[in-house]
Structure formats: C-alpha cells, structure tokens
C-alpha cells in the first residue's frame, strides 16, 4: 500500500476527527435520553479504570514501539517488534487478572454486584493493548485515511450496537454500553490487522535476525509508565473522587458534561497537528527568533477563550439535547472547559522542553499536576459535589499550563504576554463561577458572553488588528489579481 504524504495524513486525520465529533454530537444525546445517569456513570468509570490499568500493563512498550519502528525496514523485524509489544503486556494483564479476582470485588469500584464488570475490564484491557499497536502500525506506515476511517467506524459500531440493544433488550444498560464499546474496539482492531496483515504473521518470525532485544524495548519504555499513569490518573481523579465521596448520579452528571466539553477536541487535534511541524520547522531555521511563538500563543488564546465563552453562553441550550436527567450538567460545563483551553494554549509555550530535549520535565509536570488534582478533588467534592470536581479540574489545568510554561521558559526563554493572558484567565474564572454557582436566565448569560468576548478582543487588540490587516491585505491581493485578469 502506498504511503501518504504528511499533508495528506494531516488532512485525513482532521477529517476523521471532525466526522467523529459530528457523530458524537448526534449519538450522545440519543444515548443519554435512553440511559439514566447512574448507568452512564458506571460505564464512564469502566472506561477510566481500563485506561489506567492499560497504562500499567503496557509498561511504555507502545512508546518503545514508536521509537524503534524505523530502525529496520525488514518485515521480519516489524513482526518481531509487534509481537513483543503485545506479548509482554498481555502476559502481565493475564497474571494480574488471575491474582486479583479473589479480592478486587471487595473494592466495589462499579457499584455493581458480581465479578462481571471486573472480567469485562480485564478483557477490555487486552483489546486495548492489541488495538493500540494495530493503530500505531497504521500511523507509522502513514496510512492516515485508513486510521481516520477506523476512528469513525469505532464510533458508528458503538452507537448502532448500544442504541439497538438498549431499545430492544432488557439487559442492564451499563453492561450494554460496556460490551458495545468493547465490540467496537475489537472490530476496528481486526480491521487494522487485516489492513496490515503482512506484519501480523507471527509464525514466520526469525528472532535471531532481529537486532533489537526485548531488554532494549523495556529499558526505553518503562520510564514512560510514570508520565502515562500520572496523565491517566490526572484525567480520572475527578470521576473517582465523585464515586468515592458522593454517588453514581453525580458521576453520571459530571461524565455527561465532560462529553459535551470533549466536542472541542476537534480544535485541539487540528491545532496540534498543524502546530507541531510548524514549531519544529521554525526553530530549526532560526532558534533565536521567538516572536513567532508569542504571536501563535496570542492567536490561540483568543480562539480558545472565545470558543469557551460561546459554549458557556449557549450551554443551557446544548444541555437540553441530553435529556431531563442531565440538566444539572450545565453547571459543570463552565469549569471543565479549562481542560481543553489550557491544554491547547500550553502547546504554544511548552515546546522549549522538546527543542532542548529535556523530556523528563514532562513527567515532573504531569506528576505535580496529578497531585494537585487529587488533593483539590478530595477538598472540593465533599463540599460542592460535581461542581467541586469541575473546579478542581479548572485549577489543576491552570497549574498544568503554568508548569509547562515555566519549565519550558527555563530552557528556552520566550517573552509571552502573560499579563494579558492572566487578566483574561481571571475574567473567564469569574464568568465560569457565575454560571456554576448562580442561576441566570439564558438571555442574560448570552449578554455576559458578548461582554467577555469584547473584553477579550480589547485586551488582545494589538493582535486582533494585526490579524485584521493581514486578512484585508489577502483580500485586496486576491481582488487585484482577479481585476488584472
């Protein structure tokens, strides 16, 4: 199969992400109208437990897979690499499963009687292991269209199976959602293996001819465990603390709000796909020129806070689609928006760490952010329930941005306009707090949104005017060209 160019891969992945978001926008309200918050919460917890357990048993071998994939172009080498990257985590998962079934049920992690959720979790982790490597093969082979197609197929299979079973059977909805997600992952995993089947003929591996050793893979991968595990716990601490300190209903409300916020991932994904090569190319050509990063930071700040304000302004209308049982999710959305906002903006400030190859800083940043998140969740959740978890998330991701910026500036100084950013952040905190703790009419909220956007544009007016002049020049250039013809 012919490999695609980098641009074709970016376009294909962007298109796949957009379509995936569109499908989620349609199917999520259908599912939430059929499923009570408690069942939705159990499924959300199942997903988070599976993700964290996957990070542990994988022991960083997916990162080693990426690092060593291009060392040798022979099919035999790639077969050995794939087989090893799956075999070891699979063995660890099986051993852990056999050793844990006797006591893990006593933890009552799901609020569901019986071993079934735990058995499904272990099976799901195995599926995730194979799925991760099969998807990586497609990405490393630059099969962007195939990768994007499978992302969309995953969402379609899940939605069709879940909605079909919920409306036609009496099976517990938590189990339906769980099995549907597992089947959809399994389907795209099998499809990915079939698309790259020449690499999956493990019976024909000649181990003696492979230069890479298992020891090398593990030595490279194991240090990544802490960063990956901290990242997963960082993302899951809010739901876990709600489950421990409140009830499943609060977890369901929170998870539904998180699903709405996740729709902004199309912006994050697109920006990261475009920004990474642009940043690397600019640094390689002129390492001393940093105004490029300052401008990028300003423009993405305007975009992300503007999008965040729009979502808060219309959140009460958006939440209506989820159904009556999830109306309280509207009070959780505002602070949860700090996750995509701070993560995306920090991409413009963190690249100094990558430029100077100080990647250990990423682990330190994630561990500190994770610790802050856990402490704040246990402090706020008993007082404010799901609203407290959202507030803890907002503060934690603000700290995450600050840490990334500080550590990156330590090795690659850039004079970002942090005073402007700080003012906008404070204003957004006030706007989010009002929408979280005060009940206000939709019309007043939209007026507040417009006021915030005007203040945002005023604070960054230098960059807004610069962007306006650039657009005007492009339009005039195009007009003059057409007139000349």
Give the DSSP letter string of 320-343: HTT-GGGGGGGGTHHHHTHHHHHH
> What confidence score (pLDDT) does residue 217 get?
87
Q: In the predicted model, is pLDDT for residue 9 greater than 70?
A: no
Q: What is the pLDDT of residues 357-409, one digit of tens each?
A: 787 888 899 999 999 999 999 999 999 999 999 999 999 999 999 999 999 99
Sign of CA dihedral 211, 214, 217, 223: negative
Average confidence (pLDDT) over 179-201? 95
Average confidence (pLDDT) over 111-127? 90
Local confidence band at 208 (pLDDT 50, 70, 90 cut-offs): low
Distance of alpha carbon 144 from alpha carbon 128, whole angstroms: 20
Sign of CA dihedral 299, 305, 311, 313: negative
CA atoms within 13 A on the CB side of 398: 19
Q: In the predicted model, is pLDDT for residue 71 greater than 80?
A: yes
Q: Could you tell me what percent of the chain has a pLDDT over 70? A: 95
Phi-psi region of 114 (alpha: psi -120 to 50; beta: other; left: phi over 0): left
Residues in the chain: 485
- Domain residue ranges in the chain: 1-222, 237-476
Span of 57-66, 77-86, 270-279, 423-432 with lowest mean pLDDT = 270-279
Span of 156-160, 181-185, 228-232, 235-239 with lowest mean pLDDT = 228-232
Average confidence (pLDDT) over 271-277? 75
List of residues 6+ apart from 394 with CB closer than 8 A = 335, 336, 337, 338, 339, 429, 432
> What confidence score (pLDDT) does residue 6 get?
56
> What confidence score (pLDDT) does residue 100 get?
85
Q: What is the pLDDT of residues 435-449, one digit of tens each?
A: 999 999 999 999 999
List of residues 6+ apart from 454 with CB closer than 8 A = none
Q: What is the pLDDT of residues 447-467, one digit of tens each?
A: 999 999 999 999 999 998 988
Local confidence band at 76 (pLDDT 50, 70, 90 cut-offs): confident
Distance of alpha carbon 328 from alpha carbon 349, whole angstroms: 35
Average confidence (pLDDT) over 280-303? 89
Spatial contact of 79 and 205, defined as CB atoms under 8 Å apart: yes
Average confidence (pLDDT) over 332-347? 94
> What confidence score (pLDDT) does residue 104 get?
78
Local confidence band at 7 (pLDDT 50, 70, 90 cut-offs): low
Distance of alpha carbon 252 from alpha carbon 37, whole angstroms: 4
> What confidence score (pLDDT) does residue 73 get?
84
pTM, rounded to two decimals: 0.86
Span of 29-38, 247-256, 316-325, 328-337 with lowest mean pLDDT = 316-325
> What confidence score (pLDDT) does residue 260 get?
86
Q: b or e along 11-40 (b: 16 or more beta carbons within 10 Å of the residue's beta carbon)?
A: bbbbebbebbbebbeebbbbbbebbbbbbb
> What confidence score (pLDDT) does residue 477 get?
77
> What confidence score (pLDDT) does residue 145 get?
83
> What confidence score (pLDDT) does residue 380 get?
96
Average confidence (pLDDT) over 456-483? 83
Q: Provide the mean pLDDT of the chain.
A: 88
> What confidence score (pLDDT) does residue 338 get?
96
Q: In the predicted model, is pLDDT for residue 40 greater than 90?
A: yes
Q: In the predicted model, is pLDDT for residue 485 greater than 70?
A: no
> What confidence score (pLDDT) does residue 310 get?
94
- How far from 288 is each of 283, 346, 357, 414, 415, CA to CA, in Å? 8, 20, 17, 10, 12
């Amino acid at each position: 199969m012919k490999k695609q160019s980098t641009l074709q891969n970016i376009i294909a992945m962007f298109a796949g992400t957009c379509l995936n978001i569109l499908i989620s926008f349609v199917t999520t309200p259908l599912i939430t109208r059929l499923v009570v918050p408690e069942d939705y919460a159990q499924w959300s917890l199942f997903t988070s437990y599976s993700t964290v357990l996957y990070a542990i048993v994988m022991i960083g071998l997916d990162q080693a897979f990426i690092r060593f994939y291009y060392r040798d172009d022979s099919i035999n080498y790639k077969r050995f690499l794939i087989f090893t990257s799956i075999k070891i985590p699979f063995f660890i998962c099986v051993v852990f499963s056999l050793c844990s079934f006797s006591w893990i049920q006593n933890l009552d992690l799901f609020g569901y009687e019986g071993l079934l959720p735990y058995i499904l979790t272990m099976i799901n982790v195995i599926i995730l292991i194979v799925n991760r490597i099969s998807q990586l093969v497609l990405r490393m082979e630059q099969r962007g269209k195939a990768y994007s197609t499978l992302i969309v197929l995953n969402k379609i299979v899940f939605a069709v199976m879940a909605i079909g079973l919920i409306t036609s059977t009496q099976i517990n909805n938590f189990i339906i959602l769980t099995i549907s997600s597992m089947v959809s992952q399994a389907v795209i995993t099998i499809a990915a293996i079939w698309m790259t089947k020449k690499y999956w003929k493990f019976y024909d591996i000649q181990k003696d001819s492979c230069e890479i050793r298992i020891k090398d893979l593990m030595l490279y991968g194991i240090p990544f465990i802490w960063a990956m595990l901290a990242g997963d716990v960082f993302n899951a601490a809010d739901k876990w603390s709600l489950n421990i300190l409140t009830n499943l209903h609060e977890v369901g409300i929170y998870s539904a709000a998180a699903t709405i916020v996740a729709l902004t991932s199309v912006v994050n994904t697109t920006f990261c796909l475009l920004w990474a090569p642009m940043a690397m190319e600019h640094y390689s050509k002129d390492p001393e020129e940093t105004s490029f990063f300052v401008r990028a930071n300003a423009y993405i700040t305007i975009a992300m806070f503007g999008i965040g304000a729009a979502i808060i302004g219309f959140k009460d209308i958006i939440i209506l689609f989820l159904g009556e049982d999830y109306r309280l999710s509207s009070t959780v959305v505002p602070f949860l928006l700090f996750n995509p906002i701070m993560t995306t903006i920090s991409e413009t400030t963190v690249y100094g760490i990558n430029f100077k190859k100080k990647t250990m800083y990423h682990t330190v940043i994630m561990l500190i952010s994770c610790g802050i998140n856990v402490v704040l969740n246990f402090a706020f959740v008993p007082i404010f329930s799901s609203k407290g978890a959202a507030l803890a998330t907002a503060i934690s991701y603000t700290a995450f941005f600050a840490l990334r910026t500080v550590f990156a500036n330590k090795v690659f100084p850039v004079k970002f306009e942090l005073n402007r950013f700080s003012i906008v952040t404070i204003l957004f905190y006030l706007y989010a707090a009002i929408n979280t703790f005060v009940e206000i009419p939709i019309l007043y909220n939209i007026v507040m949104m417009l006021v915030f956007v005007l203040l945002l544009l005023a604070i960054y007016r230098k960059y807004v005017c610069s962007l306006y002049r650039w657009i005007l020049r492009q339009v005039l250039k195009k007009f003059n060209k057409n007139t000349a013809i």
